[in-house]
């Protein structure tokens, strides 16, 4: 029996590449001299697409693949997949909702501490010889002691961050589309109300039109001069121009970001700001976690072709 044909849109770690190539007829766009030729050559045979959540599966690509059955995403987010077209064509879409939760939550807590306590700036201060030349660095204006963490988007990652934050002694509040049953954290019925009630606002929302620029100048004003913004959700949820203006004007005290509106390009106004901690989208960026994400994608592909039922279909699939 012929192996199912899979079109791979993004690189994978070697261990996952080896398994994919053994199980499927794989066609890789990364590194291809002529990606369009790769697609054209395999289009009639392609039954699946695999990718980390940096690939793009739009209607145009799906229409070029008449026998496409499944798009398997090696990550939690899947806003780069045209879900309307997928449903119209009865194409299954899967993701890996649990593989990266703990790792991202760990980095979120690290970013919170780095941002509030100005640890990146402190590291730079020491390395530049300023401690010896100028004496002790100025005290950080913020502290986690007695602070409230507001979580915008209390999903898997939001819950995992909340558990870690409780161990730090932080009080927890949240906003989402609805109040969650069995959750004791303080609920606020709007992003504005949450921003006004917390000291640190953590963005843990998915991407897409519903959350685009949810964090704008108005929300930043509510967060206030002693407030901090941390984003480990999606870069598109934050209006970066408004954030730069708020950081420059002292509208908020600081920001910690792992995601950006136009990756890998970062708003130039952010780069020179000492009150911004900037990470290059690495919250899930460890070999064990990226391997687990790739394995979850592989598990979905194998289950689909063996049983017709994937392990983790996205919620829109019913």
pLDDT for the residue numbered 28: 97
Pick the catalytic residue from 47, 188, 234, 290. 234
Angle between helices 101-116 and 119-127 (to 10 degrees): 60
Over the stretch 192-221, which tens digit does the pLDDT of each residue have?
A: 999 999 999 999 998 888 899 999 999 999
This prediction's pTM:
0.93
Active site residue 213: no
Over the stretch 132-182, which tens digit does the pLDDT of each residue have?
A: 999 999 999 999 999 999 999 999 999 999 999 999 999 999 999 999 999
Question: In terms of C-beta distances under 8 Å and separation of at least 24 residues, what long-range contacts does 59-68 make, across chains too?
Answer: 59/84, 59/85, 62/86, 62/89, 62/91, 64/39, 65/7
Non-local (6+) Cβ contacts of 318 within 8 A are: none
Distance CA 303, CA 191 (A): 39
Tokens of 13: 């770690």
pLDDT for the residue numbered 207: 85
From residue 107, alpha-carbon distances to 33, 231, 318 in Å are 36, 11, 31
pLDDT for the residue numbered 54: 86
**pLDDT surpassing 90 at residue 252:** yes
% of the chain with per-residue pLDDT over 90: 95
DSSP letters spanning 121-165: HHHHHHHTTHHHHH-SPPPPS--STT-EEEEES-SHHHHHHHHHH
Tokens of 65: 């693949």
CB atoms within 10 A of CB 147: 20
**pLDDT surpassing 90 at residue 29:** yes
pLDDT for the residue numbered 110: 98
Of 55 and 92, which is predicted with more confidence?
A: 92
**pLDDT surpassing 90 at residue 105:** yes
Active site residue 281: yes
Mean pLDDT computed over every residue of the chain:
96
pLDDT for the residue numbered 318: 66
**CA dihedral of 142, 146, 152, 156, whole degrees rounded to 10:** 120
The average pLDDT across 269-283 equals 96
The average pLDDT across 38-58 equals 96
**pLDDT surpassing 80 at residue 86:** yes
From residue 117, alpha-carbon distances to 122, 130, 236, 244, 275 in Å are 9, 18, 26, 20, 10
Pick the catalytic residue from 44, 263, 274, 316. 263
Q: What is the DSSP letter of 195?
A: H
pLDDT for the residue numbered 19: 97
**pLDDT surpassing 90 at residue 36:** yes
Domains and their CATH numbers in the chain: 5-99+287-317 (3.40.50.720), 101-278 (3.40.50.720)
**pLDDT surpassing 80 at residue 38:** yes
Q: Strand, helix or coil at 269?
A: helix
Active site residue 240: no
């Amino acid at each position: 029996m012929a192996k199912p044909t899979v079109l791979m849109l993004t690189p994978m770690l070697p261990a996952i590449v080896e398994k994919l190539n053994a199980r499927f007829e794989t066609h890789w766009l990364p590194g291809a001299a002529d990606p369009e030729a790769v697609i054209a050559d395999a289009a009639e045979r392609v039954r699946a697409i695999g990718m980390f959540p940096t690939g793009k599966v739009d209607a145009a690509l799906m229409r070029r693949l008449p026998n496409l059955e499944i798009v398997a995403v090696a990550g939690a987010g899947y806003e780069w997949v045209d879900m309307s077209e997928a449903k119209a064509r009865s194409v299954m879409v899967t993701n890996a909702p649990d593989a990266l939760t703990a790792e991202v939550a760990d980095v979120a807590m690290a970013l919170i501490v780095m941002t509030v306590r100005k640890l990146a700036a402190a590291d730079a201060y020491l390395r530049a010889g300023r401690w010896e030349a100028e004496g002790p660095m100025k005290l950080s204006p913020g502290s986690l002691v007695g602070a409230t963490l507001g979580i915008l988007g209390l999903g898997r990652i939001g819950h995992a961050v909340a558990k870690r934050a409780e161990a730090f002694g932080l009080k927890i509040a949240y906003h989402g589309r609805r109040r969650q049953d069995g959750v004791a954290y303080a609920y606020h019925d709007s992003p504005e109300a949450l921003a006004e009630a917390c000291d640190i606002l953590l963005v843990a929302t998915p991407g897409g039109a519903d959350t685009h620029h949810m964090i704008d100048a108005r929300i930043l004003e509510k967060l206030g001069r002693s407030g901090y913004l941390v984003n480990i959700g999606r870069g598109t949820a934050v209006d970066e121009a408004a954030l730069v203006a708020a950081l420059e004007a002292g509208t908020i005290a600081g920001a910690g970001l792992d995601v950006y509106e136009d990756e890998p390009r970062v708003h130039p106004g952010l780069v020179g700001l000492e009150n911004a901690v900037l990470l290059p989208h690495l919250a899930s960026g460890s070999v064990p976690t990226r391997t687990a994400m790739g394995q979850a994608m592989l598990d979905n592909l194998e289950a689909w072709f063996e049983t017709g039922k994937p392990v983790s279909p996205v919620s829109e699939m019913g």
